[in-house]
Chains A and B, each alone.
Chain A
């Protein structure tokens, strides 16, 4: 028991640092780099709102993450020295709710950034008065962006995770059983991921100035990230089912913490690594830029 708890402390410290320090620092550095390298004076179409709004947003994001980082370490210390784990879980092991709830809190600043980006793009569209619109006459195909093998593997893992969970329970599960819950949660989450992916592929162009090449590339990266997240979810459920099989409930909190870190790396980390600012065409945001 002590061994699994000690392992959790290390993994949880990793979760705190990765989600509230490493990735936010990288993301913030990127946002500030864009603001400095492509200033509003030269690239006005990129900034439909006053510059102070973006600076304030960056500060808010930075301090929200710093607060969550401190809270994370406070929780870690509390879990190590003060919390009686038996009050949170019947078996006396560290409850998986700790990394799960804290993980959701860690994602909140990122959701804020996404919402702010959404509103920024909406204003860009409203401010766009260009009468000239350009499109490529080349057909975009789903499998040009995502390999069929990756897609097949994702579907296979999704089905495999559900079947394996049923197999572990001898295919004898009733309504309300954990297996049914897991299958429902997995189906809903995959449905949401699929909706986001389809909207990104078929939906309207959110950035009215973005070049066709940049759009294709960013959609491809988004689709791959979504597939990786779906695969991570399936693997997490496979491991949860396996945990029941080998009675390793003491590692449930460790597994949840690792899951949050993998999700963060596959979403934010993968996107940051594969969409480099130096590869993007910022000329489209210049004042005199024609539609490209």
Chain B
């Protein structure tokens, strides 16, 4: 199983990594429990910064497509196949679009929505909620 990164692609390398690993997991090319290369190995082979690969792995772990088992390394999550079809980004966009539409319907103006969103985000960052 090979991974191909095109540095001239408008999609950033970490997003290309996520997309291809998700594809490999959902198509069964990477079975649940299969070991993945270390961050250092993949970064070295693709001539990328370690942080780029680490970011892709962190987001894939958040989506439960892969899981880190400490010193033993990173593996495909047991539920990785079903989780790899979930696209959290498009889900967030969809949810926001629905919420914004509801606010507008209730007569809330765009600057009010914008201010409220910013305040809630800032508060949640401060409180960690």
**Chain A residues with CB below 8 A from B37, complex form:** 135-140
A205 with B6: in contact, given A137-B37, A138-B1, A139-B35 (CB under 8 Å)? no
What CA separation (Å) do A135 and B45 show in the bound complex? 6
B62: chain A residues at CB < 8 Å are: none
Chain A residues with Cβ below 8 Å from B30 are: 137
Q: From B1, B37, B42, B73, name the one whose CB has the most chain A CB atoms within 10 angstroms.
A: B37
CB neighbours of A72 from chain B (8 A): none
A: number of interface residues (CB 8 Å): 17
Chain B residues with Cβ below 8 Å from A140 are 37, 41
Q: Which of chain B's residues have a CB closer than 8 A to the CB of A134? A: 2-5, 46
A246 within 8 A of B: no
B46 touches A133 (CB 8 A): yes
Which one, A133, A136, A203, contacts B5 given CB within 8 A? A133
**A241, B112: Cα distance in complex, Å:** 85
Interchain CB contact (< 8 A) of A137 among B36, B40, B44? B36
> Given A134-B2, A203-B44, are A139 and B38 also a contact pair (CB < 8 Å)?
yes
User: Which A residues are CB-close (under 8 A) to B44?
Assistant: 202-205
Secondary structure type dominating chain B contacts: mixed
Contact status A136-B47, CB under 8 Å: no
Q: How many residues of B are in contact with the other chain, CB < 8 A?
A: 25
A212: Cβ under 8 A from any B Cβ: yes
CB proximity of B67 to chain A, nearest CB, Å: 14
Task: Confirm or deny: A273 has a beta carbon within 8 angstroms of a beta carbon on chain B.
Answer: no
Q: Which residues does chain B contribute within 8 Å of A202, judged by CB atoms?
A: 40-41, 44
Binary CB contact string for chain B from 10 to 47 against chain A (1 if under 8 A, 0 otherwise): 00000000000100100000100001111011101111
Interface of A is mostly: loop
Q: Contact between A132 and B5 (Cβ–Cβ < 8 Å)?
A: yes
CB pair A135–B42 under 8 Å, yes or no, is: yes
Inter-chain contact A136/B8, CB cutoff 8 Å:
no
Within 8 A of B (CB), among A120-172: 131-140
Question: Interface centre among B9, B30, B44, by most A CB within 10 Å?
Answer: B44
Q: Which residues of A contact B21 (CB under 8 A)?
A: 137
Cβ of B120 within 8 Å of any chain A Cβ, yes or no, is no
The 6 closest A-B pairs by CB, nearest first: A135-B45, A131-B8, A137-B1, A139-B35, A133-B5, A139-B37
17 A-B pairs besides A134-B2, A139-B35 with CB distance below 8 A are A133-B4, A133-B6, A133-B47, A135-B5, A136-B45, A137-B1, A137-B24, A137-B42, A138-B37, A139-B73, A140-B41, A202-B40, A204-B44, A205-B44, A205-B47, A208-B47, A291-B4
25 A-B pairs (CB sep. < 8 Å): A131-B7, A132-B6, A133-B4, A133-B5, A133-B6, A133-B46, A134-B2, A134-B3, A134-B5, A136-B3, A136-B37, A136-B45, A137-B1, A137-B2, A137-B21, A137-B37, A139-B36, A139-B37, A140-B41, A202-B40, A202-B41, A202-B44, A204-B44, A205-B45, A205-B47
